[in-house]
Structure 1
Amino acid sequence: MREDTEDRFVTLPGGTRVCYRIDGESGGPPVLLIAGLAEDLTMWSGRFVSALLAAGFQVIRMDNRDCGRSTYAATPPPSTLRQLLARPRRDAYTLADMAADAAQLIEHLGLGPAHLVGRSMGGMIAQTVAARYPELTTSLTSLYSTTGDPKVGRPAASTMALLAAPPPRNREQAVRAHLRMTAHLAGAKFPIDEVEETRHAVQTWNRTAGDGAAGTARQIQAIHASGDRTTEIARITAPTLVINGDRDLAVAPSGGHATATTIPDARHVVIPGMGHHLPDALALLVADHVVGHLERTSA
């Protein structure tokens, strides 16, 4: 099924203007995909989306606040030092605020409860939606994410160094930075396709409607401002699938293990050689696990 390229917009009750897309036939069980840090809705692999559509699901993708074509906050971004010390500003928004955006989008679309699939920071947002809005959650899939417990899921020093690099100032720099980061994170067994990743980077640059570097800094701050969410996600009742790799340099595998052991009855899948990225080479393998989980839940 052809991927929809139509950007749609809604201003939510909380004030956030969210950009989203809908793929698939109306009437299929809805799946909301929530992307990670600095990732807009085009960053989901086309193969992954197509696998969900082929299984009969309706797929909704959204730009989180401070990314893509959604609202960019008016508050100043945290300094690099604040980010490194995990000391958010007092005016920081939190993952709970971002989860409210997702929940209000589900309510706006009027499709009933949705399957939630989030990766990295998007996994944290999806966990928060499932914990706070169980009536809107059919199931939860948390991809290479963590609980906020500072003792688990810590990024490698090499990843922190890349995150601290000066932000790109033009499209060519953005492409180089994206290729450098995704090659670092992808995992040796699933190398990136530079042509495909270049296309993703160009799309993201062209769709960025605000100060992308400031937006990313505020998203990082939201994670820090949310602290340890272990107690909250222990209340999740939705059927949960946790997937992570054993070669993750952004969220150590201990983060996935902690997530799976915290959420009651969660199923945990560790993919050998997988890092912190979902390239086309890995998309169908991950989609098989996710589709199986969604179908069991829908049934």
Structure 2
Amino acid sequence: MRHLARFDLNLLRIFDAIFARGGVSAAARHLNLSQPAISHALAKLRDTFDDPLFVRQGNRLVPTPAARAIAGPVREALRGLDVALDAATSFDPAEATREFRIGVRLSGEMPRFSSLVARVRSEAPHVALASVTFRRRDLVMTLANGDLDLALDVGLPADDRLRSQYLGTEPIVVAARKGHPRVDGAIDLDTYLSLEHIIATARPYGPGLEDMALERMGLVRRVAVRCQHAITAWQIVASSDMLFALPRSHAEVLDAMWPMQLVELPLPVEQSGSYLYWHQAAQADPGLAWLRAIIVEELGATGKSFA
């Protein structure tokens, strides 16, 4: 593409739809266009780039190396255009009907997303909110192409394409069942180490923050159970003498449904804290600026964890 002034920018929308959805029919449905219109646009794109761009493989159109090379820049450019158009108009929460997609790790959705929904909907009753899981290695791309508007996560490596806002940290507490024979409102390190523990994480291997802190002290605890969700760990704690360490906000939500003893963790743990992320191309988006301010106000004061 050598002459942008003579290039139909609508073709880039069609290229992006075919790339994302793997076919002409799916792209046509997404863009609410006819299949012949998409096929005609694809022919123009192929002629412009002097490359087939997509080749058929089974029921899908698979991108060529040339298509993969331009897919990222095309998505970022389209995202930038959308933001520029949005920025040209004011954002009225009371009248807005747009959808906001917030990247939240699975383990972090439970403690604070419901309160965020309540706050947002109180000011913008017609907007839609989506909590979306994501892979950290794809975060820049998903924010650039609009699959996510914002993301909440721990501290990540610096990237010039991302903007971030530090939300703070919160303490870790230890949950034990009521009537535990060795825990009664508090726990010391010796008792903590003598009991068995549960880890709740989506990672199949690796230590928890507590294990890394203990290793620095030359100590180790016995992890008897590893599960994927805090609710599962909470259920196990309720019917055993095992302990479960988790951020305070997570524990408070679960404790309201199924009361436990919540005691202070008897060792220092270094936490990276929680951050709010967005793509630099979305910096001027008035709707996202409004939502970022709400998130910082709701979650930033006490560092509610989304890790």
TM-score normalised by length of structure 2: 0.30
Specify which structure has the higher proportion of strand.
2
Q: Greater Rg, structure 1 or structure 2?
A: 2
The two structures have a TM-score, normalised by structure 1, of: 0.30
